[in-house]
Amino acid sequence: MKWLGWLCAVAALTANLGAAETPPAAPGAVQRIPWSKALQERSPHFTIITNTNKELAKQMSQALEQQFADFVRRFAIRNEPKAPLPVKVFAERAEFKKYSAEHGLPDPERVAGYYSPTEKEIVLFWSDDTEDVLNTLYHETTHYFVDLYMPKADAPIWMNEGLAVYFETAQFKNGKLETGQIPYGRLLDLQEALKAHKNHKLSRLLNMDQYGEMGYNLLAYAEGWSLVYFFANYQNGRHAQRFGFYMDELRKGRKPLEAFKNAFQVSPDDIEPIWKDFVLKLKPDGPRAWFEKAQALHYADKGDEAIAACDEALKLDPKFSKALQLKGVQLYFLDKMPAALEALTAAVAFPDAQARTWMYLARTHEDLSRHGNAKGSEPEAEKAYLKAIQLRPDYAEALGLLAWLYATARDPKLNKVKDGIALAQRAVELDPTAEVLDTLAECYHQNKEHEKAIETIKKALALKPTDKEYYLAQLGKFMEAAGKIPPAK
C-alpha cells in the first residue's frame, strides 16, 4: 500500500475524464517561482503548496474542501485528520519528476500525480490542460479519503479506483464542486467490452488485488467506476446506503466477497445482469467519448487505435481541437511526419492550442527538414519552439530542443549558438538530465568552448545514461576539438 495512488495516477493521465466546462482559471504562461519560495494556501483539511500562483491555490483549496464535505456526507468518515494534508503542485513536470524520484516513486515519467499514505501528501504537476490537473487532483484526493475511512484495512482495488474515478469526474463551476459525472471514454470502453462479452465477471473483479502489470488495466478501471456509479444511481440510489454498509464491513476486516454478500444480501452473480443492463443503457457523449478513448489508447502505446479514435471524434465534431492535437502528436510518435505536420498545423490554428502541440509541430518541421523533405523548415521549427516557450516559459523540453536547433541548424541564419547556450543552461536548471546536459555540451562545443563541453558531458556520463556509447563518442569529439587526443584517422 506504500504507493497507493501511483498506478491510479497513470489511469488519471490516460483518460481526460469529466471535462469541466468552467474549470479554475488556467495559468496561461505560468511564471514559475523557485520551489523554496512556494506559495501556501491553508484550509481546514488541506495545505496547497505550489510555485504557480495564488489564485490557482485558492481555487484548488475551495474545490478540495467541498470534495471532503461530499465524501464525509456520503460515507460518514469517522477519523478527522490530525493535520491538513499537504498537496504539492509543481509548475513543471521536470520538478515533479525530480521530487518524486527523490521520494522513491518507481517511474515518475508515466505518472500524473500520486497520493502517498506513508508520507501523507499528494504530489502532482501543472500541465497545459487544466482539466487533466483537476482530474488527477480529485482522483488522488479520493485515495486519501479512503485511507482516512479505513486506515487499518486494505481497500479492494476495484472500490478504491472506482471511487477515485467517480470523484475524478467532478466539475468545479462558479465556486461549486459537482460530483458524479460520467467519464465517457471509460463508459464507451466498457460498453464495447460488455457487448463483446470481454468484461471481467463481477465475482472476479471484486477479488482482484491488482489490475494487471503495473496496475494498468483500463477496462478494470471502467468496471470499478461503473459499479460505484451503479450503486449511487440505480433506482434513484436504492443501493447507495448498502454501499456504505459494504465499506463498513471491509473496515471490520471482512474479505471483499464476504463483505459484499453481507452488505447487499445477494451475490455478485445475482447483481451482474442488472448492472450490465444499467451500464448498456447509459448514453455516452459521442465526440468526448471517442477523444477520451483516444487518450487512453495513446498512453497505452496503441498508436494506430488512438488515431482511429481521434478520427471518430473529429467526424462528430470537426472543430474538436483537442482530438486534432492528440492525433498530430500520435502521428509524430509513429513517425508519420507528413501526416503529423498536416494535423499539427491545423491544430495550432485553434486558440486553445497547447504548448506541447506547438513543440511537436516544431519537432516535425525539424525532422522533415533534416531528412530533406521540402515540407519541413528549420525557420518554421524555430517559430513553433518560440511559441511553445511563450506559452510556457519554463518548458524545459522545448528550451533544450530549441537550443539544439541553434547549435546544429543547417540554415546559417539559425546558428545562434550563444542564444542556444542560454536556453540550454535554463533547461539544465529545470531538468538536469543527461540529454539536456548533452545539449548544453554541444552548444559549448559549437561555440568553441571545448573545456566547458568536456566538463558538461562528463556530468551527463556521471548520470549513467542508457546510451553510454553515444555520450562517450561526444566526449571523444570534444576532447579531439580541444586537442587532448589526436584526430581519428
Q: Model confidence over 166-182: pLDDT tens digits?
A: 999 999 988 899 998 99
Q: State phi, psi for 217 to the nearest 5 degrees.
A: -135, 100
Task: Round the average pLDDT of the chain to a whole number and report it.
Answer: 88
Contacts of 276 (CB under 8 A, 6+ apart): 194, 199
State the pLDDT at residue 308.
Answer: 97
- Whole-number Å distance between alpha carbons of 183 and 124: 21
Banded model confidence at residue 321, pLDDT cuts 50, 70, 90: very high
pLDDT, tens digit, 9 for 90 and up, residues 57-74? 999 999 999 999 998 888
- Rounded average pLDDT over 397-416: 95
Question: Looking at the predicted structure, is the pLDDT value of residue 282 above 80?
Answer: yes
Banded model confidence at residue 226, pLDDT cuts 50, 70, 90: very high
Question: Looking at the predicted structure, is the pLDDT value of residue 18 above 70?
Answer: no
pTM: 0.80
Contacts of 234-238 with C-beta under 8 Å, sequence gap 24+, read 234/274, 234/275, 234/278
State the pLDDT at residue 75.
Answer: 76
pLDDT, tens digit, 9 for 90 and up, residues 143-167? 999 998 887 677 888 999 999 999 9
Look at 24-38, 241-255, 261-275, 294-308 and tell me which has the smallest mean pLDDT. Answer: 24-38
Q: State phi, psi for 76 to the nearest 5 degrees.
A: 50, 65
Question: Looking at the predicted structure, is the pLDDT value of residue 454 above 50?
Answer: yes
Banded model confidence at residue 210, pLDDT cuts 50, 70, 90: confident
State the pLDDT at residue 212.
Answer: 59
Longest dimension (CA), the chain: 83
Contacts of 267-273 with C-beta under 8 Å, sequence gap 24+, read 267/203, 268/201, 268/202, 268/203, 268/205, 268/206, 269/201, 269/202, 269/203, 271/202, 272/201, 272/202
- Whole-number Å distance between alpha carbons of 414 and 370: 14
Identify the structural domains of the chain with CATH numbers, from first to last: 6-280 (1.10.390.10), 408-489 (1.25.40.10)
Angle, alpha carbons 442-448-450 (nearest 5°): 70
Please give the grid coordinates belonging to residue 409: 541548424
Containing H/E element for 329? helix 321-333
State the pLDDT at residue 426.
Answer: 95
State the pLDDT at residue 112.
Answer: 86
- Rounded average pLDDT over 434-462: 96
Banded model confidence at residue 488, pLDDT cuts 50, 70, 90: low
* DSSP for 216-252, written as a single string: --HHHHHHHHHHHHHHHHTTTTTTHHHHHHHHHHHHT
- Rounded average pLDDT over 363-376: 93
pLDDT, tens digit, 9 for 90 and up, residues 242-252? 888 898 899 88
Question: Looking at the predicted structure, is the pLDDT value of residue 391 above 60?
Answer: yes
- Whole-number Å distance between alpha carbons of 481 and 473: 12
Question: Looking at the predicted structure, is the pLDDT value of residue 7 above 70?
Answer: no
State the pLDDT at residue 127.
Answer: 83
Question: Looking at the predicted structure, is the pLDDT value of residue 56 above 50?
Answer: yes
State the pLDDT at residue 13.
Answer: 38
State the pLDDT at residue 487.
Answer: 61
State the pLDDT at residue 31.
Answer: 63
Between 25 and 137, the more confident residue is: 137
State the pLDDT at residue 3.
Answer: 36
